[in-house]
Structure 1
């Protein structure tokens, strides 16, 4: 008995105390049954009983401490097991690609068709072009920035409820848009509500596709982003053909029902592959210490700054400068969105072989040259040619953005967080680019030359930054895959 006590320091301390007093009174204990091991008031507790109670109390404290430690670990720990490698194919993986196609169709096909709305609102609302473009700018801004939160929720294992809520909010915004007749109402419905809903589900959906692929990631994401181009064809056609026949309200409801059906299919098919990562920050500030990540986002910022001005004003230039009717100008929106569809497949196939930056650096230089050629367009045929080439280079880059972020992300189970951060940076450019271009246009007397120069210049700056990033990552050798 004594040897057993001396092996436990806490029990040994208790024994020394007991030596000075052979028994204890536990008047504050009121048991219900002696069989349960309890004692009645005034009962003298023996030494063995005292140590049994002490040991049980310590075990209880230790159990509670372990639970609290596990909870704290999930919140504060910065390390967790490596996720399993991607399958890089298979039925379930390609099913995610098909579902993501519908997501991109209903999100960016719809958002990028705002040029058709820009022209329509310019003819029906008493607002300047710069003011009207804030509707589409806010929609895209929220579609991207909300990804900071929804991307982290994906990593934490909440993909299904997040995706469901996003669908409901986006579709609700579209149906509320159908009864909007004033500018401020369109800001709230088409801009804020539908943009917020798209932002909730978009980043998690794109992140899920990336986690299923490695060597064929570029191709998989490229196939998914063809939904962007397909939607960019369909939505302007719906707006152009149905508004004269059904009116604005029912045309918008048709779009709402279309989005509801497409997103319902995606919701039924898409499921995350990686186990939940409960710990970790919502914003991973340490990512900005990585020159590859920071350099890529800085370069992309300037690209998106000029890109969305061109997309929003491509039709307005046709009606105001080239005197095209609204139907013909809307065709330009369809062209700039649709011509890039095959290149969203072909370009990623090349990047999977030679590296993303090896394609992006020369591609963006071509993009800058094409942007400057807008200054030389003075005929309808020339404008159609410019629209085609601009749509090709823009689509070729946009389909590479998610896969490039995945390539420079060390761990795929942090991709939702990093991709959400990356989309949010570009959201600022997407939000401010069209209004800045519109303000420059207004300040220059309504002409397009000054904003054209601004958009082309920031695109050139982006290209130079991408070339510098490529040299930083792979040096001057063209054989290095990066």
Structure 2
């Protein structure tokens, strides 16, 4: 099996189905002279997705193939495209996303609570939530290497220990540093260890329907956020914050046991591969895309962390009303993760759809200061949640369009994750600092978030222009 040095992505979209395994395509091209010419041409062309089954049917391999090449054929041809075992792996991936991104997305519940209980300013509390996302993306590359090397279950168990231990540790924490170490760093490490596993499992069992399977699995993030927000809404008042966290910890523990039991990874070889591909940054489309996504995600998570606080401070909502807003925001995310990727798959491709989603998210953030009532806030979170979830789902699916060497796609995805992890770490605290600097007014932070996403959108759009030309950018066709 060909090794992928980094995970395809947690925020995965419909087009991820068509990126695996790229090496099988190059092997088939060795069959005859015509195929060799095609391969040579593809090295100079941006990636265009193609059907996995077509690659396999083009040839059965030559007699002088090495054992490694024959193994690549076997892996590609053996994909069952679902089945009972395959859909069970989809369930396992869904639970991993639910426990990981779902818990992180619901951090807005604790943001308000910790500001009041720990007596710290918003920017300080924000480091707890941003640390979780930072470690998730940063460690995703490392855990991906471990899983590729055959250490799937060891990686899974290490992640479970840190994730569950961090949540339970937070329930006993009394100071800011204790909460940061437990809920911020420990759970972040746990989620980072799981980051690759959820995509890796599904990718082994699906070919044509991999996009559907990954899309269903990714819905664990908004659904998990809804579940954890509902738990907080019902339990914090009737019980306590401590027992709310413990209940969440028991839920994550229960799901972890299920995942460990039902996960059935296929054997992986222990071959090594490079962790970095620095020459990739010499390719202008890839470089612009990477910088653009840094600016995009610098502002993307601000609203998720600060909407409850905005509702309470600016609109005078009570705790239940503020949590209801976050609940609506999380639930709408399901539509944002399914509809835009479907449109991209059927018509205009992921990168164009991503550009549109980023610009719409930026417009929504610029419109946020105009929200003056609870109904207005509900309308706003519905609009923003739809577009920003589309961004999170589409950006990894778009990377195939801005790289010329698809045999290194996994490495290049990992490098983008490393870069954007620092944006996820810094974005929410910067927003919190701007709120504190303005004496509790959110205007500066809202403009900061909207502006960073606007800059990111222009850079990602420019990456598409460099990839296909200006005419190609406006040619609304799946082939362009």
- On whether the aligned pair clears a TM of 0.5, the verdict is yes
Q: Counterpart of 1:119?
A: 112
Q: Counterpart of 2:76?
A: 85
Higher mean alpha-carbon deviation, 104-113 vs 470-479, is at 470-479
Distance in 1, matches of 2:267 and 2:477, equals 33
Q: Counterpart of 2:463?
A: 469
Please tell me whether residue 372 in structure 1 is matched to residue 366 in structure 2: yes
Q: Counterpart of 2:432?
A: 438
User: Which residue, 446, 463, 479 being the options, matches 2:477?
Assistant: 479
Q: Counterpart of 1:203?
A: 196
Distance in 2, matches of 1:191 and 1:296, equals 28
Q: Is the 8 A contact 2:166 2:187 kept in 1?
A: yes
Query: For 2:76, what is the secondary structure of its paired residue?
Result: coil
Q: Is the 8 A contact 2:81 2:207 kept in 1?
A: no
Query: For 1:339, what is the secondary structure of its paired residue?
Result: helix
1:16-66 deviation line (CA, Å, top 9, x unaligned) = xxxxxxxxxxxxxxxxxxxxxxxxxxxxxxxxxxxxxxxxxxxxxxxxxxx
Please tell me whether residue 449 in structure 1 is matched to residue 449 in structure 2: no
Q: Gaps (5+ residues) in structure 1? A: 1-79
Distance in 2, matches of 1:90 and 1:406, equals 24
Q: Gaps (5+ residues) in structure 2? A: 1-67
1:406-431 deviation line (CA, Å, top 9, x unaligned) = 67678888665444433222211111
Would the alpha carbon gap of residues 265 and 481 (structure 1) be closer, same or farther in structure 2, given more than 3 Å must change? farther
User: Which residue, 416, 427, 430 being the options, matches 1:422?
Assistant: 416
* Structure-to-structure mapping, 1:16-55, within 5 angstroms: none
Q: Counterpart of 2:177?
A: 184
Q: Counterpart of 2:39?
A: none
1:323-350 deviation line (CA, Å, top 9, x unaligned) = 0001111112111111121332222222
User: Which residue, 314, 331, 336 being the options, matches 2:324?
Assistant: 331
Would the alpha carbon gap of residues 217 and 323 (structure 1) be closer, same or farther in structure 2, given more than 3 Å must change? same
Alpha-carbon distance, 1:204 to partner: 3.1
Would the alpha carbon gap of residues 270 and 414 (structure 1) be closer, same or farther in structure 2, given more than 3 Å must change? farther
Would the alpha carbon gap of residues 339 and 318 (structure 1) be closer, same or farther in structure 2, given more than 3 Å must change? same
1:189-220 deviation line (CA, Å, top 9, x unaligned) = 00111111111111232244345545544333
Would the alpha carbon gap of residues 406 and 239 (structure 1) be closer, same or farther in structure 2, given more than 3 Å must change? farther
Would the alpha carbon gap of residues 407 and 275 (structure 1) be closer, same or farther in structure 2, given more than 3 Å must change? farther
Distance in 1, matches of 2:404 and 2:206, equals 14
- Bigger-Rg structure (1/2): 1
* Structure-to-structure mapping, 1:275-424, within 5 angstroms: 275-276=268-269, 278-354=271-347, 355-405=349-399, 417-424=411-418
Alpha-carbon distance, 1:305 to partner: 0.9
Distance in 1, matches of 2:318 and 2:228, equals 18
Q: Counterpart of 1:49?
A: none
Would the alpha carbon gap of residues 284 and 166 (structure 1) be closer, same or farther in structure 2, given more than 3 Å must change? farther
Would the alpha carbon gap of residues 265 and 157 (structure 1) be closer, same or farther in structure 2, given more than 3 Å must change? same
1:364-423 deviation line (CA, Å, top 9, x unaligned) = 222221111102111221111111110111112212234334676788886654444332
Alpha-carbon distance, 1:292 to partner: 4.2
User: Which residue, 109, 113, 121 being the options, matches 1:128?
Assistant: 121
Q: Counterpart of 2:37?
A: none
Q: Counterpart of 2:233?
A: 240
Distance in 2, matches of 1:268 and 1:411, equals 37
Distance in 2, matches of 1:239 and 1:450, equals 29
Q: Is the 8 A contact 2:82 2:209 kept in 1?
A: no
Scaled by the length of structure 2, what TM-score is found?
0.78
Higher mean alpha-carbon deviation, 240-249 vs 177-186, is at 240-249
Scaled by the length of structure 1, what TM-score is found?
0.78
Q: Is the 8 A contact 1:206 1:402 kept in 2?
A: no
Distance in 2, matches of 1:450 and 1:462, equals 18
Alpha-carbon distance, 1:147 to partner: 1.2
Higher mean alpha-carbon deviation, 87-96 vs 222-231, is at 87-96
**Structure of higher RCO (CA pairs closer than 8 Å, 6+ residues apart):** 2
Distance in 2, matches of 1:468 and 1:366, equals 17
Would the alpha carbon gap of residues 272 and 425 (structure 1) be closer, same or farther in structure 2, given more than 3 Å must change? farther
Distance in 2, matches of 1:290 and 1:124, equals 49
Q: Counterpart of 1:160?
A: 153
- The alignment of Structure 1 onto Structure 2 pairs a total of residues equal to 404
Q: Is the 8 A contact 1:309 1:433 kept in 2?
A: yes
Distance in 2, matches of 1:409 and 1:220, equals 24
Would the alpha carbon gap of residues 262 and 454 (structure 1) be closer, same or farther in structure 2, given more than 3 Å must change? same
Would the alpha carbon gap of residues 478 and 395 (structure 1) be closer, same or farther in structure 2, given more than 3 Å must change? same
Distance in 2, matches of 1:246 and 1:375, equals 35
